[in-house]
Amino acid sequence: MSMAAMLSARRLIAYYGQAQILSDVSLDVASGEVALLLGRNGAGKSTTLKTLIGLVPMAGGEVVFRGERIDGLRPYQIAQRGLGYVPEDRRIFTDLTVSENLEVGRQPARKGLPAWTVKQLYKLFPNLAEMSARPASQMSGGEQQMLTIARTLMGNPACVLLDEPSEGLAPVIVDAMVAAIKEMKSQGLAVLLSEQNLHFAEDVADRAYIIEKGSIRFCGGVSELRDNDSVRSACLAL
């Protein structure tokens, strides 16, 4: 599987100040594949994603994206190479309207990749279409979550890093997330999905990584994980 990997990270190490958060993270995501990053609170899921997009400096390891080393690049350079990032806390521009938020995410179309238009994204998230002129400060949490995904897709990414998109959302919104992830997958995008909610993630994911204390402890198919009670109770149960 690593031969076809679009995004491939090896032995990532990262710190916040003096505290080591990531000690050994290696993972691969292939085109048209949804890879799941599971772990408890504080295991290093968000930090892994932030390290990949360049928001947290890497202290060691390497990242290859579409055949090119991207570790050490600035976040905007990584994003311009087609890696999209959807932050956990959404980070919507609340002073801007919904359509303006989408415009900020706009990047030129890339060869061989789906080119998203505002129209397509409104079709994928019909709620957004109805409020395109509304200031983002007046949206619900679920609507903001849709907007943050749509904004990242405006950059026409080849691979999307999704940080806990189901967190704190109503079931009906979670269904919309599932539909969106399936659409990305069908368009041939690679998706790295960080989650605590296994039930949501099982629906869409192909493979799973389990991270604990900053290192990857398990790597395998989702069905394999479902059957492996010992790993699940050791690394995921509260």
Task: Report the chain's C-alpha Rg in angstroms.
Answer: 17
Tell the smallest beta-carbon distance from residue 180 to another protein (Å).
18
User: Is residue 16 part of the contact set for another protein (CB under 8 A)?
Assistant: no
Which 3 state secondary structure label does DSSP give 29?
A: strand
Given the rule CB under 8 A, which of 29-37, 97-105, 170-178, 224-232 is the region that contacts another protein?
A: 97-105
User: Is residue 214 part of the contact set for another protein (CB under 8 A)?
Assistant: no
Given the rule CB under 8 A, which of 2-10, 60-68, 94-102, 126-134 is the region that contacts another protein?
A: 94-102
Contacts of residues 119-125 at CB distance under 8 Å and 24 or more positions apart, as own/partner, are: 121/150, 121/153, 121/154, 124/150, 124/179, 124/180, 124/183, 125/149, 125/150, 125/176, 125/180
User: Is residue 96 part of the contact set for another protein (CB under 8 A)?
Assistant: yes
User: Is residue 115 part of the contact set for another protein (CB under 8 A)?
Assistant: no
Exactly one of 5, 22, 53, 121 binds another protein (CB under 8 A); which one?
53
CA-nearest of 104, 91, 101, 158 to 125 is: 101
Binding mask 125-144 for another protein (x = CB under 8 A): --------------------
Comparison of 23 and 107: residue with beta carbon closer to another protein: 107
- Report the relative pairing of strands 190-195 and 34-38 from DSSP bridges: parallel
Given the rule CB under 8 A, which of 21-29, 70-78, 204-212, 220-228 is the region that contacts another protein?
A: 70-78
CA–CA gap between residue 103 and residue 98 (Å, rounded): 9
* Cβ pair 183, 26 in contact under 8 A: no
User: Is residue 153 part of the contact set for another protein (CB under 8 A)?
Assistant: no
Interface ranges with another protein (CB under 8 A): 53-55, 74-77, 79-80, 85, 87, 91, 93-96, 100-101, 103-107, 151-152, 155
